[in-house]
Structure 1
Amino acid sequence: MVDTTAEIVLFDGFDELDAIGPYEVLENGAQAGASLETDLVTLEETDIVTASHDLRVEPHGTLGQPDVLIVPGGGWTTANEGVRAAVDDGALADAVDGRFTAGATVASVCTGAMVLSEAGLLEGRPAATHPVAVDDLEATSANVVDERVVDDGDVLTAGGVTSGIDLALWLLEREFGEEIANEVSEQMAHERRGEVFG
């Protein structure tokens, strides 16, 4: 039985690397000894989710009550697509808020921070997002910082697309130890960038 469950919530128009990068890191962490199970999920049951670059992904199931919930970005600058559509719809933000209230640690990658903001989770907190959304996030009550990974305890945010890899490596280090995180980093030939803010 695993000690920690992580779910990465997908929606049409999500950025591939925002979700798949952290997924691979966390799966490799489990193989390296972390007591962790990671699933790709959606709000509603569906066979296929189409990402922003047309990658088609078959999710494992629907959103449960994970210990860690990761929200990717993608599509913020395009009307009716990706994160923009998800924020306008409101259902994802409501679901994120519900999981957070029930005790989940919530993290975002890239413009996924706009979903966390819509959920009310970034009020007065330091937060990072992709440069295309900085002005919009600054217009909220978040304290926007120019950092790659921001850890504010039960809410974490990561900046641009590839920073999701560093976010996931930090989660491995924070929850399961530096040795596992370093092993995964070496296995993936990824040189971690920047200090974690927070």
Structure 2
Amino acid sequence: MTDTTAEIVLFDGVDELDAIGPYEVFENAAQAGASLETNLVTLEETDLVTASHDLRVEPQGTLGQPDILIVPGGGWTTANEGVRAVVEDGRLPDAVDERYADGATVASVCTGAMILAEADLLEGRPATTHPVAVEDLEAHAANVVDERVVDDGDVLTAGGVTAGLDLALWLVEREFGEDVSSEVSEEMAYERGEIFG
């Protein structure tokens, strides 16, 4: 049986917990028996990514063709940084759209939803994001709902920062069953939030 592949895409200014929280959930799920391989990746080859709180992260490769693609947030309110810079650059939103078109389940954490919006994946869909980006997300014709995690099938969104843990745990449950997700929740001593969708 082939592993489900998950990739979490990093960029300079990414919020640490948005990326590392889901990574830890997925790694714990694999240890709990889920057939899941997870990698931290970048759009282009680079030695290090500097996150929003100056954590330096060494990516494990470049963006491939994952089954699940997690798009973190960070830096939406600051010009030329993080998500704002990524959206203005346009290459990552295009790459996200390509992976979606190729059948990947795409999920965002926090203001990563703005990258999905730029990729035209949220128009007319229920979605959520960090409160600082709600008005901007609504301007992209997303149906913004006040929930920690919104599951709209092949596109999921999570609210601010710690909601990435809920998103990842929900994806584990959805793909690998409640027993695995419950084991991971207990291992991480984390009480999950509600899911919309």
TM category (shorter chain) comes to over 0.9
Question: Which residue matches 2:120?
Answer: 120
Alignment of 1:24-173 (within 5 A): 24-173=24-173
Which piece of structure 1 moves more, 1-10 or 39-48? 1-10
Uncovered stretches (5+) of structure 1, i.e. residues with no partner: none
Question: Which residue matches 2:177?
Answer: 177
Question: Which residue matches 2:195?
Answer: 196
Give the CA deviation at 1:33: 0.2
Question: Which residue matches 1:8?
Answer: 8
Alignment TM-score, normalising by the size of structure 1? 0.99
* Residue identity opposite 1:72 in structure 2: P
* Residue identity opposite 1:172 in structure 2: V
Q: Could you list the per-position Cα deviations for residues 114-170 of structure 1 after superposition, in whole angstroms to 9, with x for gaps in the alignment?
A: 000000000100000000000110111100000000000000000010000000000
Aligned equivalents of 2:2 and 2:171: distance in 1?
16
Aligned equivalents of 2:39 and 2:131: distance in 1?
28
Q: Could you list the per-position Cα deviations for residues 161-197 of structure 1 after superposition, in whole angstroms to 9, with x for gaps in the alignment?
A: 000000000000000000000000000000112x210
SS for the counterpart of 1:62 is coil
* Residue identity opposite 2:31 in structure 1: Q
Aligned equivalents of 1:161 and 1:98: distance in 2?
25
Aligned equivalents of 2:122 and 2:48: distance in 1?
30
Tell me, yes or no, if the aligned pair for 1:109 and 1:161 is still in contact at 8 Å: yes
Q: Could you list the per-position Cα deviations for residues 81-133 of structure 1 after superposition, in whole angstroms to 9, with x for gaps in the alignment?
A: 00000000000000000000000000000000000000000010000000000
Aligned equivalents of 1:76 and 1:52: distance in 2?
11
Aligned equivalents of 1:55 and 1:76: distance in 2?
18
What is the root-mean-square deviation of aligned Cα atoms in Å?
0.6
Aligned equivalents of 1:6 and 1:40: distance in 2?
9
SS for the counterpart of 2:86 is helix
Aligned equivalents of 1:186 and 1:106: distance in 2?
26
Aligned equivalents of 1:113 and 1:176: distance in 2?
25
Give the CA deviation at 1:2: 3.8
* Residue identity opposite 2:3 in structure 1: D
Aligned residue pair count: 197
Tell me, yes or no, if the aligned pair for 1:18 and 1:73 is still in contact at 8 Å: yes
SS for the counterpart of 2:106 is strand
Aligned equivalents of 1:2 and 1:75: distance in 2?
36
Q: Could you list the per-position Cα deviations for residues 33-52 of structure 1 after superposition, in whole angstroms to 9, with x for gaps in the alignment?
A: 00000000000000000000
Alignment TM-score, normalising by the size of structure 2? 0.99
SS for the counterpart of 2:5 is strand
Uncovered stretches (5+) of structure 2, i.e. residues with no partner: none
SS for the counterpart of 1:45 is coil
Give the CA deviation at 1:3: 2.5
SS for the counterpart of 1:61 is coil
After superposing on structure 2, the runs of 4+ consecutive aligned residues of structure 1 that deviate more than 3 Å are: none
